[in-house]
Amino acid sequence: MSGGVIGLVGLQGVGKSSALLAVFIAKILLEGEAWRKQHNSKPGPGHEYETILFKWRRQNELFRSLLDGTHEASLDFHREYAARLLGQLEPRLPLLDLKEVKDHPDRLNIDWAEGTLGRAASKRLRQLAWLEMLRRKKIILIDTPDYSKTDRRLIAKDLEEIYWVWNHLSRSRSFKQDTKPNLVIAIQKEMFRGHFFFDKMEKIELEPLEPKQMLKAYLKRFKTAEPFTEDALLTLARMSRGIFRRFQRYIMLTLDLWETEPEPRKPINASAVNESITRERLAEDMELELSELFPKQSDLQLQAVRVLLRLSESGSVEQSQIAEELGIEPYAMSRLLSKLELHKYITRSRVGTNKIVSLRG
């Protein structure tokens, strides 16, 4: 791939940032190993890697964060920017010996240099340094912020700025390499619609974890299920719908309630979990993703939460039974389940004349 753009799409909290970080670390290790084989030594402190990862900042925040060192790309940017500043300063200050800072660009006093050049020239150089630094990369990993359902304008503005960067990089090449940088952009699944840039991306969807995978992660971290039972952890995982951030939050909510009990405390079972994590809490957490399925239909969102909660408690259920239990007309239940099945929340199968509904995965 050269000049490509990939959308890494997943629900809020599913682990997009962790996935980008894993890719970044793997690529850095591979680049380091390739360097060692070629040069018989480790990359030095000043080595510039071909892969970069950063959280997206809007233009009004970008250069401030690059210059004060809070941006993940600050080090690479400073090298490029200092070189450009020196190139502009030398003709203006012929009597000044700049050899030391030319050999060690990190020692350049950026404030002094920008004050000498002036605001307009410095602003232009910042932009050029930023783009040239990105142009030398082979892979650019961009982690976009989390957005609420009212943030459509913000994500549209961010996407337009990222599109401009990608379009600029894909039309020009660095003199140091023949290939154009590839962009990988982490984007909320709830927001992945309605923008022209999405049509230009190759979409890769990050699937939520299965309950058994989340249980395995907990046991790997703590070596034991205590103070939970494994059944309780699986219940929490089902409630989380594979979203690891929710899984962590629900664990903490359950522990908070458990710690209010008098000593000696009993192990936390599935009943205690259901008491700790209310339907209102589940509905609130799922509101953003369910609003995509049922826009402006809060009653259907709540019904969907009730169905998913019922399935998490008891596993597979006959469609007619769950409609009767929840007081939903059969035709309305059928339409609700069709929407949930289409978006991979549930699966339906037929046993004889009965339709059986199960949580997906």
Q: What is the pLDDT of residues 342-352, one digit of tens each?
A: 877 888 888 88
- Cis check for the bond before 91: say yes or no (omega within 30 of 0): no
Q: Is the pLDDT of residue 304 over 90?
A: no
Note whether 141 and 51 are within 8 A (CB): yes
**Average pLDDT value for residue range 59-75:** 91
Q: Give the pair of three-digit tokens for residue 55.
A: 């959280």
pLDDT at position 98 is 66
**Average pLDDT value for residue range 148-163:** 87
**Average pLDDT value for residue range 148-164:** 87
Q: Is the pLDDT of residue 122 over 80?
A: yes
Q: What percent of the chain has pLDDT over 70?
A: 93
* Domain 282-361 annotated CATH 3.30.530.20: no
Any idea which of 8-17, 175-184, 331-340 has the lowest mean pLDDT? Answer: 175-184
Q: Give the pair of three-digit tokens for residue 358.
A: 């199960």
Higher pLDDT, 305 or 329: 329
CA angle 214, 216, 220 (to 5 degrees): 120
Q: What is the pLDDT of residues 195-232, one digit of tens each?
A: 899 999 999 999 888 889 999 999 999 999 999 999 99
pLDDT at position 95 is 55
pLDDT at position 141 is 97
Q: Is the pLDDT of residue 105 over 70?
A: no
Burial class (CB in 10 A: 0-12, 13-18, 19+), 224: exposed
User: pLDDT tier at 174 (50, 70, 90 boundaries)?
Assistant: low
Q: Is the pLDDT of residue 261 over 80?
A: yes
Q: Is the pLDDT of residue 193 over 90?
A: no
Best CA proximity match to 125, nearest among 143, 140, 113, 142: 113
Q: Best-predicted range by mean pLDDT among 38-42, 44-48, 190-194?
A: 38-42
pLDDT at position 303 is 84
pLDDT at position 89 is 81
pLDDT at position 223 is 94
Tell me phi and psi for residue 268, to 5 degrees. Answer: -80, 115
Amino acid occupying residue 123: K
Kindly report the average pLDDT of the chain as a whole number.
86
Q: Give the pair of three-digit tokens for residue 280.
A: 């209102």
User: pLDDT tier at 175 (50, 70, 90 boundaries)?
Assistant: very low
pLDDT at position 55 is 95
Specify the domain boundaries for CATH 1.10.10.10 within the chain: 282-361
Dmax (CA) of the chain: 93
Q: Is the pLDDT of residue 48 over 50?
A: yes
| Model confidence, pTM | 0.80
Q: Best-predicted range by mean pLDDT among 90-94, 110-114, 312-316?
A: 110-114
Question: How many residues are recorded in the chain?
Answer: 361
**Average pLDDT value for residue range 151-175:** 84
Q: What is the pLDDT of residues 14-35, one digit of tens each?
A: 899 999 999 999 999 999 999 9
Q: Best-predicted range by mean pLDDT among 203-212, 283-292, 310-319?
A: 203-212
**Average pLDDT value for residue range 116-143:** 92
Q: What percent of the chain has pLDDT over 90?
A: 40
Specify the domain boundaries for CATH 1.10.8 within the chain: 208-277
Q: Extract long-range pairs of 59-64: CB within 8 Å, 24+ residues apart.
A: 59/161, 62/130, 63/126, 63/130
With tokens 């790997």, the residue in question is 220
pLDDT at position 148 is 78
* Domain 208-277 annotated CATH 1.20.120: no
pLDDT at position 101 is 66
Using DSSP, state whether 140 is helix, strand or coil: strand
Separation CA 36–CA 32 (nearest Å): 6
